[in-house]
Amino acid sequence: MDIKTVGIVGAGQMGNGIAHVFALAGYEVKLNDIAQESLDRAVSLIRRNMDRQVGKGVITQEEMDAAIARISTTLTLADLGQSDLVIEAATERETIKQAIFEDLIPHLKPETILTSNTSSISITRLASRTDRPEKFMGFHFMNPVPIMQLVELIRGIATDEATYNTCLGVVERLGKTAASAEDFPAFIVNRILMPMINEAIYTLYEGVGSVQSIDTSMKLGANHPMGPLELADFIGLDTCLAIMNVLHEGLADTKYRPCPLLTKYVEAGWLGRKTKRGFYDYRGETPVPTR
């Protein structure tokens, strides 16, 4: 299938990044959210990020202007119904995603491919609640979308070859690299990354090292660009906890048990950068460890 129009559900940090790269690649993009404020903020952020790309010579001003013109916004989910491809990028909660698909399905064209940007939830299970499990798959972008090169493509048990090949072609047109993952909890990246972050939090919880020493050790000792606790704050501690719970419940192995300290931070509402506090306090000029 030839994809020309793309509908994106959710204008948060993932949704606006996905809209950014699709518009630059020449697709007509319709971005949906439940709040006008979120849509306005997303378009403003896309402009700022593209401006930065122009400043660095990554794209031209003409390419930016053309891309911005290809993005439209809507508060009405049904407006996405005529898209060739729909990417759901809402909160990482299965009940919310299911409710979105339920509301969207009556308005979709029969040939529309339906995808989810979920980082951990079963694609087969999400697909089974729709009218097109063969045209449903996982389309998992990495954050920040305009910079990160990888896209995980996850086939559910019913996903057909045509749907997979179409999505593979889309990834190539975006100038990104696809990695095919089987539909098991957290797929590839988060199956490996999240237990590492969780173990770093256990290392803090058990007093083996401070926030600073743990992050410094991994940056200088393992050549990671960002320490695991700094990275957890960037991802969002609520998202980290949700993925650890999916791993723990889905694989029934105690090695995936979320650290109690991670749970405590989420209960406190200290979710990382987005709430200005997590393993670091971001309210001042420079981040300060909270432990």
pLDDT value at residue 216: 98
Q: Which of 32, 27, 71, 28 minimizes the C-alpha distance to 49?
A: 71
Same domain as 160, residue 82? yes
Q: In the prediction, which pLDDT does 118 show?
A: 94
Catalytic one of 20, 38, 120, 152: 152
Give the CATH number, domain containing residue 14: 3.40.50.720
pLDDT of residue 251: 95
- In sequence order, which residues have a C-beta less than 8 Å from that of residue 111 and are 6 or more positions away? 1, 84, 135
Shared domain check, 261 and 202: yes
pLDDT, tens digit only, all 291 positions of the chain = 799 999 999 999 899 999 999 999 999 999 999 999 999 999 999 999 999 999 999 999 999 999 999 999 999 999 999 999 999 999 888 999 999 999 999 999 999 999 999 988 999 999 999 999 999 999 999 999 999 999 999 999 999 999 999 999 999 999 999 999 999 999 999 999 999 999 999 999 999 999 999 999 999 999 999 999 999 999 999 999 999 999 999 999 999 999 999 999 999 999 999 999 999 999 999 999 999
What is the pLDDT, as a whole number, of residue 1?
Answer: 78
Check 32, 38, 190, 198 and give the catalytic one: 190
Please report, for the domain that includes residue 203, its CATH number: 1.10.1040.10
Q: How many degrees, rounded to 5, is the angle at CA 267 between CA 261 and CA 269?
A: 110
Answer yes or no: do 41 and 134 share one domain: yes
| 13 labelled ligand-binding | yes
Q: For this structure, is 119 an active site residue?
A: yes
Q: Are residues 212 and 140 in the same domain?
A: no
Q: What is the pLDDT of residue 285?
A: 94
Check whether residue 251 and residue 136 sit in a common domain: no
Domain's final residue, options 135, 150, 182: 182
Helix (H, G, I), strand (E, B) or coil at 74: strand
Q: Assess whether 223 carries a catalytic annotation.
A: no
Domain endpoint, select from 122, 153, 182: 182
| SS3 state at 232 | helix
To the query of whether residue 20 is one of the catalytic residues in this protein, the response is no
Q: Active-site residue among 32, 140, 198, 230?
A: 140
Which has the closest alpha carbon to 143: 240, 213, 37?
240
DSSP string, 108-132: S-TT-EEEE--SSS-HHHHHHTSS-
One domain for residues 21 and 72: yes
Q: Is 143 annotated as a binding residue?
A: yes
Alpha-carbon dihedral of residues 99, 101, 104, 108, nearest 10 degrees? Answer: -170
Does 92 belong to an annotated binding site?
A: yes
81 shares a domain with 60: yes
| Residue 127 sits in the same domain as residue 229 | no
The answer to whether residues 25 and 59 touch, using CB atoms and an 8 Å cutoff, is no
**Taking a C-beta distance cutoff of 8 angstroms, is the pair 66, 50 a contact?**
no
Q: Are residues 227 and 85 in the same domain?
A: no
206 is in an annotated binding site: no
Structural domain harbouring 202: 190-289
Are 129 and 178 in the same domain? Answer: yes
Which amino acid, residue 34? I
Q: Are residues 233 and 167 in the same domain?
A: no
Residues 167 and 216 in one domain: no
269 is in an annotated binding site: no
Boundary of a domain, candidates 182, 201, 235:
182
Catalytic residue among 119, 120, 122, 198: 119
Q: How many domains does the chain have?
A: 2
User: pTM score, two decimals?
Assistant: 0.90
